[in-house]
Amino acid sequence: MDLRPRRQGDVIVLGPAGRVDHLNSDEFLTAVEPHLAQCEAGGPALLFDLSAVEYMSSSGLRVLMLAAKQAKPRGGRVAVAAPQALVAEVLEISRFNLVFPIHASVDEGLRALSATP
């Protein structure tokens, strides 16, 4: 899965697209893992730009949770930005809004992560 990674300052922005579900969540995880390895104290934060994601099932959400769980103990930072309305609803119903920050836009996410030590 091509996440179109781009580095913006101290943040790596990852942009999955389309449907992320049980059919391709393994590919999603494989694509995230190299970036996750760098996500630690002093390293770049990870920002998932979900603007191009039409739907994310529990399998896709599980990858986001895995990223958060692996990064946090190492001092890494993970956030989500720009979910479409339906994906935002799924995140809220799943209570993922209590797991990590969900920013309305990528710019807002970049600002928040850049401001965070």
Binding site for another protein (CB under 8 A): 22, 55, 57-59, 61-62, 65, 68-69, 86, 89-90, 93-96, 98-99
Residue 62 Cβ vs another protein, minimum distance, rounded to whole Å: 6
Nearer to another protein, 93 or 115 (CB): 93
Nearer to another protein, 88 or 112 (CB): 88
Residue 103 Cβ vs another protein, minimum distance, rounded to whole Å: 17
* Bridge partner residues of 80 (DSSP): 48, 102
Residue 94 Cβ vs another protein, minimum distance, rounded to whole Å: 4
Give every CB contact of residue 60 below 8 A, 6+ residues apart in sequence. 16, 20, 21, 25, 28, 53
> Directed axis angle between helix 25-38 and helix 58-71, to 10°?
10
How far apart are the C-alpha atoms of 102 and 105, rounded to whole Å? 9
